[in-house]
Amino acid sequence: MSNSDYKARGMPRAAILGGSGAGERIGQAGGAVVKILGLDEAGRGCVLGPLVVGGFLLEGEDQAPLREAGADDSKVLSAQKRAEIREKLQNLGQGHLRRVEAIEIDAGNLNELEIRAFLDLVRCLQPDKVYLDAPVNPRGIPKLRERLIRESGVLDWVVEPKADATYPVVGAASIYAKLARDAAIEALGEVGSGYPSDPVTRKLLSEMLAKNEPLPPWVRSRWGTLEVLKQQRLF
């Protein structure tokens, strides 16, 4: 599907990164092999760059090989370690990505865009079971899970906080998302991490605002950080 096709359907662009091969496989007993999908995101709280949703598709329900390869919450791993683990994961399953650009976030609702990205991956990959690192407060999980079941057609969803640390298949998705997100930020140049608390990022934004020129499309211009910096320039 081309980028224009995705835009026509209102869906983010996709990428498929390595893996053990797509399609359903038949097990030794003649039955279909169960496919499970882990989902997570990176860059939700950033003021610069895209939100990246990662998915990791595994044939079979044994997640132990993923844990042995190092799959875990990407935030507790160094950049080098994440890259090393991804190399191992490529031989164990398929990594998939969706990018939601800053300009899309400015024009829409981040929560809705993220859920749509999750659902798009599920519809494309058609897993039997999905593990998701909950993007909402625990009280909102039952309602979110009901929606995901209704709109995806997949009945078996595990939606939990910190699922990236609990379930290796989600940890694998977390690693793919984080590496892609970091690469997107690095491509922007000397902009810091892109998070509002980063002094390098804040300094860059302050300098941009001082020029009174349109902000680049990779800045989330509706973020509260921008308004705070604008107010600081008044004093």
For 120-178, the pLDDT digits (tens) are: 999 999 999 999 999 999 999 999 999 999 999 999 999 999 999 999 999 999 999 99
Listed in sequence order, the residues at least 6 apart from 55 whose beta carbon sits closer than 8 Å to its beta carbon are: 37, 38, 39, 95, 96, 97, 98, 121, 125, 173, 176
Alpha carbon of residue 31 to chain centroid? 32
Kindly give the interhelix angle for 199-210 and 224-232, rounded to the nearest 10 degrees: 60
Domains and CATH numbers, the chain: 3-186 (3.30.420.10), 199-232 (no CATH)
Q: Dump pLDDT digits (tens) for 16-43.
A: 454 433 333 333 344 688 999 999 999 9
Q: What is the pLDDT of residues 181-201, one digit of tens each?
A: 999 999 999 999 999 889 999
State how far the Cα of 132 lies from the Cα of 203, in Å rounded to an integer. 35
pLDDT at 52: 98
